[in-house]
Structure 1
Amino acid sequence: RARPGLRVDAMVLSGGGGEREQEEHAALTAFCPGAELRLTVLKLADGRLPAQWEEAKAAVEDLRARTEPDLVLAPRTDDAHQDHRGLAKLMTTAFRDHLVLGYEIAKWDGDLGRPAAYQPLPAHIAEEKVRLLQEHYPSQRHRPWYDREAFLGLARIRGIECHARYAEAFAVTKLTLDLGD
């Protein structure tokens, strides 16, 4: 909303051709109103990225060939889930000269890190994010960590860490500064 006309190129490794693809499209549309959206949803088997490395690598390289982003959002490179971690490593090698922020994904193993970058969120934005997550990802509702309290709780903890009510937090593998002469 703050940047009308923004272009968002998004890629999801699994769920192509089914309900998950429709879910991803609806979610992206809801989270990025007014943006030009280009979504790619692949049909890789969920939870099997190491066995499908070449297909995933080719997809990430294809994405890189057709976009020149100002910002790349991907899972953290030290994420405990093999698919998340694998995708993160592919993204940081394909987008070497870009700002890549690694986002947190709550899960049963408590895989939270020590983020280095924070984006404070007004309370109404944090609440809307949670509402949109719950509304647009019905395939995830059966997971015990996929609830309002978990999302707002994490946002509250990250807010405490940056002196805000709520915040998003990201890992940064490499950051290039230009502080002038």
Structure 2
Amino acid sequence: MIELNPSRLRSVAVIGAHCDDIAIGVGASLLEIGRSNPDIVVHALVLTGAGTDREIEEKNALAALCPSVDLRLTVAGLPDSRLPCHWDAVKCELAGFRRSCEPDVVFGPQRGDFHQDHRLVAELIPTEFRDHLSFGYEILKWESDLPNPAVYLPISEDSARRKAELLAQCYPSQTGHDWFDDEAFLGLMRIRGVQCRNRYAEAFTLEKAVLGAATSTHSTNG
């Protein structure tokens, strides 16, 4: 297994269709990134939930997941579960978000997600963040749509358990779902950890990457 250790991150963008998508998909990674890069700026966009209790849940959760970094969260008010019917509005929100930041890496839903809102956002992210390293996170739910990931971020046990704890604490509107519990979230992180030879991990699909090679200058003697 090849490890790619990125240089110090200055800015990260995280995008979700719904309040709780980011925390489910990349919550533990945000904890790890924040600890390693305390001066980082985290730009977050959620496309639905503005003006509802869900927005309050999201603000509390992301504040707890990014406690020591510069968090800049925008929650828009597009209709939940109807984003494909509002393609233009989604595109405009993403375009405005793109103009507000220049991240080193972008996290968003993965293209193979069966939920129509997640899938649309995944398809549109590369149309705005064209020159960025983009990863697709997985959202555990009842559909059988977990991807075959290409990228793994090892997670400490403290971060894994903190993520599960915050999901339960910060999203009371979701705890009635039979899949929304500590055992499920820790179980998936444990499986991803096994796949990269760590205790816990979060895993991602890779949108596109360019490997840079050192260039050498050749001189010609006349």
Q: What TM-score bracket applies, with the shorter chain setting the length?
A: over 0.9
Task: Give the equivalent residue in structure 1 for 2:164.
Answer: 130
Task: Give the whole-Å Cα distance in 1 for the aligned partners of 2:145 and 2:179.
Answer: 12
Cα contact 2:50–2:76 (8 A) shared by 1: yes
Question: Residues 9-32 of structure 1: CA distance to partner in whole angstroms, max 9, x if unpaired?
Answer: 111111101211111111111001
- Give the alignment's Cα RMSD to 1 decimal: 1.0
- Which of these residues, 97, 108, 125, is aligned with residue 142 of structure 2? 108
Between 1 and 2, higher relative CO (CA 8 Å, sep ≥ 6) is seen in 2
What runs of 5+ residues in structure 1 fail to find an aligned partner?
none
Query: Quick check: 1:95 aligned with 2:120?
Result: no
Task: Give the equivalent residue in structure 2 for 1:171.
Answer: 205
TM-score scaled by length of structure 2: 0.79
Task: Give the equivalent residue in structure 1 for 2:55.
Answer: 21
Task: Give the whole-Å Cα distance in 2 for the aligned partners of 1:160 and 1:131.
Answer: 21
Query: Quick check: 1:46 aligned with 2:77?
Result: no
Report the count of equivalent residues: 181
Question: Residues 54-73 of structure 1: CA distance to partner in whole angstroms, max 9, x if unpaired?
Answer: 11110000000111001111
Q: Which amino acid aligns with 2:158?
A: H
Task: Give the equivalent residue in structure 2 for 1:152.
Answer: 186
SS of the residue 2:131 aligns to: coil
Offset, 1:90: 1.2
Question: Residues 99-142 of structure 1: CA distance to partner in whole angstroms, max 9, x if unpaired?
Answer: 11100001111211100000111211111111111111122111
Offset, 1:85: 0.6
TM-score scaled by length of structure 1: 0.96
Query: Quick check: 1:55 aligned with 2:103?
Result: no
Offset, 1:79: 0.8
SS of the residue 1:24 aligns to: helix
Q: Which has the larger radius of gyration?
A: 2
Query: Quick check: 1:76 aligned with 2:81?
Result: no
Offset, 1:43: 0.9
Task: Give the whole-Å Cα distance in 1 for the aligned partners of 2:102 and 2:116.
Answer: 27
Task: Give the equivalent residue in structure 2 for 1:121.
Answer: 155
Question: Residues 39-85 of structure 1: CA distance to partner in whole angstroms, max 9, x if unpaired?
Answer: 11111110001111111110000000111001111000111100001
Cα contact 2:142–2:179 (8 A) shared by 1: yes
- Which of these residues, 57, 62, 68, is aligned with residue 34 of structure 1? 68
Offset, 1:38: 1.3
